[in-house]
Amino acid sequence: MDKGKIDDFKKEREKLNKIVMKYAGTPIKRFYSLDSQVYREGALPSKVKEMLGLVASFVLRCNDCIKYHTIRCYEEGVSDAEFEEVLTIGLIVGGSITIPHLRVAFSAWDELKEKGSITE
């Protein structure tokens, strides 16, 4: 990933979410709220929930979701080994069609690791 792509992604996501909320009615707002609530600490730690979100996004082949959950996995302290195992599960479930998404995930992970921190 080019230097700064993660930061660009986060800024663009925030900008687009503001536009969505400008027009959003109750159903969209409730969905967004539910989405953020399910990743909070509960019977499963947030770290595990983010890894689950990553593997689901990977299998569904959503690059934006893969980037988002990769960032969240990094923020939650997922190790390189854990990250690789999660993606291996996704690769087995999703098959070879997910290989381009494997590249996206590892590229984002590599950028996060090289930077050593994330701009909020």
The alpha carbon dihedral of 58, 79, 119, 34 has a sign of positive
Q: How confident is the model at residue 118 (pLDDT cuts 50, 70, 90)?
A: low
What's the start-to-end Cα distance of the chain, in Å? 19
pLDDT at 2: 46
Domains of the chain, each with CATH number or no CATH: 5-115 (1.20.1290.10)
pTM of the model: 0.89
Residue 90 burial (CB count, 10 A) = 23
Q: What is the pLDDT of residues 20-29, one digit of tens each?
A: 999 999 999 9
